[in-house]
Amino acid sequence: MAVFWCTAAGWWLPLIDRVEIYVKAGDGGNGAVSFRREKFVPFGGPDGGDGGRGGSVVLRADRRTGTLRRYHRGAGRFAAEGGGNGAGQKRHGKNGQDLILSVPPGTLVYREGDERELLADLAVEGQEVMVARGGRGGHGNARFATPTNQAPRFAEKGDPGEEVCLTLELKLLADVGIVGKPSVGKSTLLASASAAHPKIAEYPFTTTEPVPGVVDLGWRSFVLAEIPGLIEGAHEGRGLGLDFLRHAERTRVLIHLLDGGSEDPVADMKQVNRELDEFSPKLAEKPQIVVVNKIDIHEVRQRIPQLEEDLAGIGEPLFFISAAAGENVSLLMAKAGQMLDSAASPHIEEALKIFRPPPRRERVSVSRRGDAFAVSSPRAEQMVARMDLNNPEARAYLRGRFARMGVTAVLEKQGVKPGDVVWFGKIAMVWE
């Protein structure tokens, strides 16, 4: 869905306010198998270096990024750089460079999966969140030298980088939002008060996207956004409601625009406020300025005394304007600017810190998979994935680790015999 951002200079850029992307962190580099060979060093020993860590994927709020367009229409796959492989002389592989993806301030980051999870609300310039961690580099053979095995001829593979599907959702960071039923003159008011150029026509739902513009008062400026017309049932998604009510959540002050020519402007106001409250009680609690529009029409101007009486008990500032003629618009904007000084800032969700601590003690379990055995142990699965199972020394190393971890004891209790197939995650190995 597209919206349009209009700057104070009057030019506008197309915006995309919801996209789905796939990101992959870089894989870790492989460790090296190498031995020190020098003329006068007869027992140089292993000197294979470690692989480098893969680059991570980070999302960062950047005001210079005005849209989510780069993540739309086929450009939704992003991968960080992988880590370099280790080399001889204990040379470690280069760490992969992190991939920094810039998003507009106001972007919500969701991780998709069995359950949708909000990772971050990137509303502040420079705020960032790591969404995919780079894989750890594999250890070189120098790491596996022991007094009993002084010349190991195996090394670890690097871990794969994390992969994740994300939804990026932009909520416009407007200071003041114009709400009201369709065709009450919201687009006309926005055009009159700012440099925006919204579409204006004589039919409902002329505006199909939220349109913001900058209002310059001289002593201060603020962002004014038009929220497309709200009808009864908007909080349930009727009309254009759900996609745009969320944009109003970020505003600090609402201008509630009424059509002075409506049969019952008070009922219209109550209906829109009811939709705001049904969508979010916090949205309904925002300070409002109630504005009756179209007083340039003779019949509406004559109704002003009656409308003042009908709206006397609303408890909100009341203005009568003509958005088309610009009458009282500057006074209205000045009032909105004054109210912003005391209005509360919108609630911003803190970026979640994604902790991935390894389990201290892991319970190993074994189940049967036909004639094979399946080991449930993330630590053991990771160890198997890092090793070259075609290398006899690597298999011997794993057997020793499995014995110390208790994996061997659990398997033998279940009746495993040499030659049986044992699954560790997605990898099968023949038990020796």
Compute how many other C-beta atoms are within 10 angstroms of the C-beta atom of residue 105: 19
231 pLDDT tier (thresholds 50, 70, 90): very low
Pairing mode, if any, of strands 288-293 and 253-259? parallel
Which one has a higher pLDDT value, 71 or 7? 71
d(CA 69, CA 168): 11
**Cα separation, 156 vs 83, whole angstroms:** 14
For the cut 50, the answer to whether the pLDDT of residue 238 exceeds it is no
Residue 316: C-alpha distances to residues 123, 319, 430 (Å): 29, 10, 77
Report the SS3 class of residue 423.
Answer: strand
Q: How confident is the model at residue 114 (pLDDT cuts 50, 70, 90)?
A: confident
Q: How confident is the model at residue 328 (pLDDT cuts 50, 70, 90)?
A: very high
Can you give the pLDDT at residue 16?
A: 54
Is CATH 1.20.1050.10 correct for 176-342?
A: no
pLDDT tens profile 330-353: 999 999 999 988 876 665 555 555
Say what percent of the chain tops pLDDT 90.
Answer: 41
Average pLDDT over residues 269-297: 87
Structural domain spans, the chain: 18-170, 176-342, 365-430
Matching residue, tokens 């199909």: 208
Fold entry, domain 365-430: GMP Synthetase; Chain A, domain 3 (3.30.300)
pLDDT at 12: 38
Q: Which residue has the higher pLDDT, 216 or 235?
A: 216
Average pLDDT over every residue of 102-129:
86
pLDDT tens-digit profile of 18-69? 788 999 999 999 999 998 887 766 667 899 999 999 999 999 988 777 677 7
Where is pLDDT greater, at 174 or 7? 174
Which of 101, 11, 104, 9 has the alpha carbon at shortest distance from 62?
104
Q: How many CB atoms lie within 10 A of CB 337?
A: 19
Identify the residue with better confidence: 315 or 305.
305
Contact 316, 291 (CB under 8 A): no
Kindly state the tokens that stand for 247: 């944009």
Q: How many residues does the chain have?
A: 432
| Residue 173 pLDDT > 60 | yes
Average pLDDT over residues 242-268: 81
CB contact at 8 A, 322 and 294:
yes
Q: What is the pLDDT of residue 236?
A: 39
Residues 6+ positions from 151 with CB-CB distance below 8 Å: 35, 45, 46, 145
- Answer yes or no: is pLDDT of 237 > 80: no
Could you say which architecture CATH assigns to the domain 18-170?
Distorted Sandwich (2.70)
Look at residues 78, 83, 172 and name the one whose alpha carbon lies nearest to residue 134.
83
Q: Cβ neighbours of residue 426 under 8 Å, at least 6 residues apart?
A: none
* Separation of alpha carbons 217 and 153, rounded Å: 74
Q: What is the pLDDT of residue 329?
A: 92
Tell me the pLDDT band of 9, cut-offs 50, 70 and 90: very low
Instruction: Answer yes or no: are the C-beta atoms of 385 and 378 closer than 8 Å.
Output: no
Q: pTM of the full predicted structure?
A: 0.67
pLDDT at residue 412 tops 60 = yes
